[in-house]
Chains A and B, each alone.
Chain A
Amino acid sequence: MNEPAGTTGLVFNEPLLWEKGAPGRCGVSLPQRDVPASPLDSALTGDAPDFPDLSEIDVIRHFTRLSQWNFGVDSGMYPLGSCTMKYNPKTNERQAALAGFCGAHPLMPESLAQGVLKIMFELQQYLAEITGMHAVTLQPAAGSQGELTGMMLFAAYHRSQGAPRKKIIIPDSAHGTNPASAALCGFKPVAVKSDENGLLSPQAVKAVMDTDTAGIMITNPNTLGLFEEHIRQVADIVHAKGGLVYGDGANMNAIMGIVDMAQTGFDAMHLNLHKTFSTPHGGGGPGSGPVCVTRALEPFLPVPRVLEAGGRYTLSDDFPQSIGKLHAFYGNFGILIRAYSYIRSMGAANLKKASQLAVLNANYIKERLKGTYHLAYDRPCMHECVFSDKYQEAHHVTTLDIAKRLMEYGFHPPTIYFPLVVHGAIMIEPTETECRQDIDRFIEAMQAIAREAEESPELLHAAPRIPKVRRLDETLAARKPCLAG
């Protein structure tokens, strides 16, 4: 390993917004007043909010400096497991910024909204084709709202069968959003343990599945990066008792063009457009979590739905069994444009190749690091692999220390301490957009850090020293919350 990629540059300190500026400055060009002032009842008016007054350049410098304290996919490799931090193509941004899309009012007459409705209709068709499912709603604003939609669909389905159900089965390796979404729907989560191979066991599911259980939530590939090999048997067991199978499609990036999700037994599943379909994560969102369903669940999808007849697109609320509405309008449309643009840029062959290369990259990292770090489950993985800090424990080095030291090598750390079923988990998802050289550099950094853990663990304990701030006191933040200035 040559010099680590991470280094220090000229990074600026920057105060909080209200620590700068001067009353009377303004950073926007207000239109000239061409109408008279009209009084408003003073019982209703208050003082102007206590915001600082800043000039345009104050604002530009402030946020430019802040941005420079961030690490994004455009800064470097971001192998954050379960998050699919692939490259966010710039042409997608160009398309989403077109005036016709940006300036479109959501309640315009349909005749004036044909372009946007066509995008939505076609995107639904593409996502149905990619998953193998029958119908799609684009309304959920993120994966967890997709899960909530799915649970509402399950509840509505069982109610329509005249037999509401109370429980839902969730494997212990699931994302926390799964049980939280199920609980919002009034379902009681029933946990099942993964087997010694990190997989869902049909016997374990059979033992808890009964006619009071609405169904099961399954992430496939699961959060250990493994394909659930018994998925069909599990689905059959759940279906045999009248239950439904929900798929958390957070990890769809591993299997596009390879797996037919309807064939695996899914009745409903969500996709994360901000993972698999390349839309940027935005420092926490906005995402988009379309839900794809079988024919049997279609009548329950949220309204309005986009319909097409003779090349004209319409919005329809006329679905009496619908669960209702999840978003004031139609979901995060700006994100849908980006995913549409990605799918049209890639085509079927490149989407499949993206999955193949994502899986190749993860397996390559797994093979090359498996002597250096403890591999939780030594099996062929999908798009991510999960190590732990077991070998480093003897040197009093933890997963957290390894993660912080990686920053100094110029990499964003992997996901750490998740999934919960692996103690000290280090979950690595390289994605298909990283080149061989960068993947090798990442592997070499991980190897160098393992050596440092033995020879000079203090380097890891003190890390990171390069970024704008060092390790932060999270206990203080929680004990004495200071949430506004």
Chain B
Amino acid sequence: MRYLPHTDEEIRDMLQVVGAADLDGLFASIPRNCRRSGDMDLPEAMSEWDLNRHMNHLAAATAATPEYRIFMGAGSYDHFIPAATTYLMGRSEFSTAYTPYQPEISQGTLQAIYEYQTFITRLLGLDVANASMYDGASALAEALLMAIRITKRRKVAVSTAVHPLYRKVAATYLSPAEFDIVEIPYGSDGRTDLGGLGNPADFAAVAVQSPNFFGCIEDLQALGQAIHGDPKTLMVTCFSEPLAYGLLKSPGSCGADIACGEGQSFGIPRSFGGPGLGIFAARRQFVRSMPGRLVGQTVDKDGKRGFVLTLATREQHIRRERATSNICSNQGLCLTNAIIYLASLGGSGIRALARLNHDKAEYLKAALKKAGVAVPFESPTFNEFVVQFPPGFADTHARLLAKKIVAGLPLGAYYKELADHYLLCATETCTAEDLDRLVKEVTS
């Protein structure tokens, strides 16, 4: 086996040094009653050639872009990934390194994280960003837990226009310690309706998403004012499509105390939902309550600029059960992916790309409206929006799969009241021709 370099002779020599008769002899300290009775029952080892064939076959049994036209976002977006990004991600000095606990020989990872943290603070209009969480959903859960720690209140409010799967994860995280989540409804315009919130002082945090799960851009400024009716209540804004902030007002500028969400859009392949990137940023005053790793700038013995992991006394390896989170491994390589992609886009590029996404979706929306499809929510949207197809559209949706078109995500499974509603997405990867064809197919 090519990953096991020892020859039989080397094994014999080394066993002699160790004083064991054979390889089994190395395990003498393991009691009999803990041992396996027979060999593991696993498929025979494959040659690399056979493995390639096997995996090609499995990959072919999965529908993927560009062969399929998948007009579906909902937390996982089809954006073009430049060859230069993929190429740099192949640098194994990044991928085969561990967490940068030895900073002198990890400056590449550390500077990349520092640059990522900086870009995220600039994107979201906040002061500090951490070195990633697992995904958008756990980032939201950790943001709510952080607000509970800061305010010492046991209840949070979360908009039902937040991604339903993120809400499910948040509920899972908050339930063992019996923290309460109150759901806030969305209004007929598809935006969060804070009308029934009551006294914000009852809540550690109020969490909204923008663009929200329906693609609607929330009026964050107005929401922020309502939430900060109690100055202690934290405004948590999350997102599944951060590219929108190339165009929109940043959450920080609208009053968000914590902004968090999924960063898969930043050059990371969809990969059936993971690995993605949990983005997490907050105001400076909360930095010591933040979960996750942080990289800071410092100097070396000769006064030269360098970077280290810092403020680690928040973390589990120091603080153990009093840590701000249990997170250890994060999504380091994915944040490297994101900073490479964002550096390639630049400030002008992200603006242009965000605009293009918005305009493609508007083009599709207008064409569908013109063809008589109902667009129930009137709020402005970014690159996703909800449509209501006539009853029985499920058959058309299924029929289009055979034509290699996925005509959006059916929402009935997530919102009972939204049967026959579909969430459609158009990014820069859709040509006008693709969009015209979709309109034709769904209305014929």
- Whether B270 lies near A45 (C-beta < 8 A) is no
Given the complex of chains A and B, what is the CA–CA distance between A482 and B340 in angstroms?
22
18 pairs, CB–CB < 8 Å, chain A vs chain B:
A53-B348, A102-B269, A104-B62, A104-B271, A115-B58, A145-B138, A186-B178, A227-B27, A282-B336, A285-B334, A324-B169, A326-B172, A333-B274, A334-B271, A346-B1, A346-B3, A353-B23, A481-B311
Is B418 positioned at the interface, with any CB of A under 8 Å from its CB?
A: no
Is A72 positioned at the interface, with any CB of B under 8 Å from its CB?
A: yes
What 1/0 mask marks residues of chain B from 74 to 109 whose CB sits below 8 Å from any chain A CB? 111010101010011011111111111011111111
Tell which of B197-205, B228-236, B359-367, B384-392 binds the partner: B359-367
Closest A residue to B406 by CB, please name it: A108
Given the complex of chains A and B, what is the CA–CA distance between A286 and B122 in angstroms?
24
Is A10 positioned at the interface, with any CB of B under 8 Å from its CB?
A: no
Apart from A180-B319, A287-B329, A485-B114: 16 A-B pairs, beta carbons within 8 A:
A35-B362, A44-B248, A71-B93, A132-B36, A145-B138, A176-B319, A186-B176, A186-B177, A324-B172, A329-B273, A334-B271, A359-B27, A360-B15, A469-B300, A478-B312, A482-B296
Interface core residue of B127, B135, B343 (most chain A CB under 10 Å): B343
Q: How many Å from the CB of A166 to the closest CB on chain B?
A: 12
Tell which of A61-69, A391-399, A449-457 binds the partner: A61-69
Q: How many Å from the CB of B172 to the closest CB on chain A?
A: 3
Q: How many Å from the CB of A246 to the closest CB on chain B?
A: 13
Is A309 positioned at the interface, with any CB of B under 8 Å from its CB?
A: no
Is A1 positioned at the interface, with any CB of B under 8 Å from its CB?
A: no
- Whether B94 lies near A67 (C-beta < 8 A) is yes
- Whether A483 lies near B295 (C-beta < 8 A) is yes
What 1/0 mask marks residues of chain A from 422 to 450 whose CB sits below 8 Å from any chain B CB? 00000000001111100000000000000
Given the complex of chains A and B, what is the CA–CA distance between A114 and B104 in angstroms?
46
- Whether B18 lies near A367 (C-beta < 8 A) is yes
B61 to chain A: which residues have CB within 8 Å?
100, 114-115, 118
B44-67 at interface with A (beta carbon < 8 Å) = 44-46, 48, 51-52, 54-67
Is A357 positioned at the interface, with any CB of B under 8 Å from its CB?
A: yes
A91 to chain B: which residues have CB within 8 Å?
48, 51-52
A319 to chain B: which residues have CB within 8 Å?
none
Given the complex of chains A and B, what is the CA–CA distance between A87 and B92 in angstroms?
11
Interface core residue of B96, B315, B326 (most chain A CB under 10 Å): B326
- Whether A141 lies near B350 (C-beta < 8 A) is no
Query: Known interface pairs A72-B97, A260-B35, A484-B129. Does A360 touch B60 (Cβ–Cβ under 8 Å)?
Result: no
A207 to chain B: which residues have CB within 8 Å?
none
- Whether A59 lies near B340 (C-beta < 8 A) is yes
Is A201 positioned at the interface, with any CB of B under 8 Å from its CB?
A: no
Closest B residue to A14 by CB, please name it: B111
Q: How many Å from the CB of B48 to the closest CB on chain A?
A: 5
What 1/0 mask marks residues of chain B from 19 to 52 whose CB sits below 8 Å from any chain A CB? 1100110111111011111011111111010011
B345 to chain A: which residues have CB within 8 Å?
26-28, 51
Q: How many Å from the CB of A153 to the closest CB on chain B?
A: 10
Is A134 positioned at the interface, with any CB of B under 8 Å from its CB?
A: no
What 1/0 mask marks residues of chain B from 356 to 395 whose CB sits below 8 Å from any chain A CB? 1011101100100000000000001000000000000000
A45 to chain B: which residues have CB within 8 Å?
247-249
Closest A residue to B117 by CB, please name it: A484
Query: Which of under 10, 10 to 19, 20 to 34, or 35 or more describes the interface residues of A?
Result: 35 or more
Q: How many Å from the CB of B45 to the closest CB on chain A?
A: 3
B271 to chain A: which residues have CB within 8 Å?
96, 101-102, 104, 333-334
Q: How many Å from the CB of B316 to the closest CB on chain A?
A: 4
Q: How many Å from the CB of A88 to the closest CB on chain B?
A: 5
What 1/0 mask marks residues of chain A from 305 to 346 whose CB sits below 8 Å from any chain B CB? 000000000000000000111111111111101000101111
Given the complex of chains A and B, what is the CA–CA distance between A180 and B325 in angstroms?
7
What 1/0 mask marks residues of chain B from 135 to 169 whose CB sits below 8 Å from any chain A CB? 11110000001000000000000000001011011
Closest B residue to A368 by CB, please name it: B17
Is A291 positioned at the interface, with any CB of B under 8 Å from its CB?
A: no
Q: How many Å from the CB of B360 to the closest CB on chain A?
A: 6
A287 to chain B: which residues have CB within 8 Å?
329
Query: Known interface pairs A70-B108, A101-B271, A474-B310. Does A56 touch B14 (Cβ–Cβ under 8 Å)?
Result: no
- Whether B171 lies near A324 (C-beta < 8 A) is yes
B325 to chain A: which residues have CB within 8 Å?
180, 184
B1 to chain A: which residues have CB within 8 Å?
346, 350, 353
Q: How many Å from the CB of A84 to the closest CB on chain B?
A: 10
Closest A residue to B65 by CB, please name it: A103
Partner of B248, one of A46, A103, A148: A46
B26 to chain A: which residues have CB within 8 Å?
356, 359-360, 363, 380
Given the complex of chains A and B, what is the CA–CA distance between A231 and B32 in angstroms?
12
Is A130 positioned at the interface, with any CB of B under 8 Å from its CB?
A: yes
What 1/0 mask marks residues of chain A from 88 to 112 whose CB sits below 8 Å from any chain B CB? 1101011110111111111111011
- Whether B346 lies near A21 (C-beta < 8 A) is yes
